[in-house]
Structure 1
Amino acid sequence: MISYLLVSVASCTNTNKPDHQRKTKKTKTDKSNHVVLINPFEVPEGKLEEAISYWEACRDFLKEQPGYVSTKLHKSIKDGAKFELINVAVWENPKAFSEAAQKMVQELGVAPVEGLKPTPSLYTIVRQ
């Protein structure tokens, strides 16, 4: 299911370098067409490290796909937050993201974390 894929998808960068310093397969495009994936995760108790490892595997796959721009994983500073992790990723367009997510599901070979509940959606920027 695509929406479950989005869970891990937007999740890929080199953890040792900021996004602007990484070499990725990017094409020049009008940034105004970019879309933002915002994907909050409900993480089962005791599964935080497993969820982060899963996100990293997805990120590492997706960062090599056409249309990938950047991603960051955020952790709540509040104990007991409903969404302990939130992934924010930028893609060149919805089609690139959808194709990358489908490819990841077919090729990644990593099982999702039991009980991990993503709630992904794509957005456009309307004000700055």
Structure 2
Amino acid sequence: MSQDSRQDADVAPVTFVNVIEVPADQVERFVATWRERARIMSTAPGFRDSRLHRALSSETRFQLINVAHWDSRGAWQAAMANPEFRARMRALEDDPDITVSANPALYEVVAGFGEQLDE
């Protein structure tokens, strides 16, 4: 990706992907807390949608994957700075009943196939 492309992500649509490692027996509790955080994010300017995907097998290392779409990197950054969202994140980090390893990043679409994506 060129530097120009990365700068364009500040105003171009972005996809937030978070691959989440959480023990299978803690998934339901995590999902409940995710819904609270997603509700906050869904009211932020620039938010498009978010989906939390669960592995079909409890043996899968990464039990959950969150995929969210935003109007821009700037919109996502502003939402991440929301004090209510930050407080919910701290509560999750401090919860002794949930062990989470998150791997978040922002992405841009570089190729695709399917409805309105065929190249």
Q: Which residue in the other structure is 1:47 paired with?
A: 26
Structure-2 separation of matches of 1:45 and 1:73: 15
Within-5 A mapping of 1:79-98: 79-98=58-77
**Aligned to 1:116, which of 100, 103, 107?**
100
Greater mean alpha carbon deviation, residues 45-54 or residues 92-101: 45-54
Give deviations 1:84-104, integer Å, cap 9, x for gaps.
Answer: 00000000011110110111x
Unaligned runs of 5+ in 1: 1-31
1:72 aligns with 2:51: yes
Partner Cα distance (2:99, 2:43) in 1: 27
Please tell me the root mean square deviation across aligned C-alpha atoms, in Å. 1.6
Structure with the bigger percentage of helix: 2
Q: What amino acid maps onto 1:56 in structure 2?
A: R
- Which consecutive residues of structure 2, in runs of 5 or more, have no partner in the other structure? 1-10, 113-119
Q: Which amino acid aligns with 2:84?
A: E
Quote the sequence identity (%): 27
Runs of at least 4 residues of structure 1 off by over 3 A? none
Bigger Rg, structure 1 or 2: 2
Deviation string for 1:94-120 (max 9, x for gaps)?
Answer: 1110110111xx224431153211100
